[in-house]
Amino acid sequence: MPTIGIKRDLLFEALGKKYTDDEFQKLCFEFGLELDEVTTEKQMLTKEQGDVAAAQDASEEVIYRIDIPANRYDLLCLEGLVNGLLVFLEKIKPQRYVLVEPKDEQSTQVIKVLPETAQI
């Protein structure tokens, strides 16, 4: 399960609402995600490298580390996560995708699979 790091303030600005850590954790749970950790860039660097001096210039901005299910690659960025949460909260309608056929036959691609290849 991939874990993404999202800056809390950017996330809340995009969602149009500020949440407490507990409220956001509950929202994630209801949506099917897990808020893994609330941290900062400085804490992450200190934890990874074990050297406080290396993290001296790092940001103190709060970062939410969120576990994303492997089949939800649409949630791996800020925009996708915000879109998913806003649809879940019924603040926006789901995006509707429409099939667009090519204008001419030359634009159409055809994949030919040889019988030998089809056996694999």
The residue range of the domain holding 32 is 3-89
Average pLDDT over the chain, rounded to an integer: 90
Is residue 49 one of the residues assigned to a domain?
Answer: yes
Q: Is residue 57 part of a domain?
A: yes
116 is a domain residue? no
> Which residues are paired to 6 by β-bridges?
64
Is residue 104 included in any domain, yes or no? Answer: no
Instruction: Indicate the number of domains in the chain.
Output: 1
CATH of the domain at 46: 3.30.56.10
First to last CA, the chain: 29
Whether 107 is in a domain gets the answer no
At position 45, the amino acid (one-letter code) is L
As a whole-number percent, the residues of the chain with pLDDT over 90 amount to 68
* Beta carbons within 8 Å of 66's beta carbon, 6+ residues apart: 3, 4, 6, 28, 33, 34, 35, 36, 81
Residue 117 resides in a domain: no
pLDDT band at 116 (very low <50, low <70, confident <90, very high): very high
Coil, strand or helix at 43: helix
40 located within any domain:
yes
> 5-42: per-residue pLDDT in tens?
999 999 999 999 999 999 999 999 999 999 999 998 87
Nearest to 14 by CA among 93, 92, 95: 92
CA distance 14 to 85: 10
Q: Answer yes or no: is 119 within a domain.
A: no
Given a cut of 80, whether residue 84 has pLDDT beyond it is yes
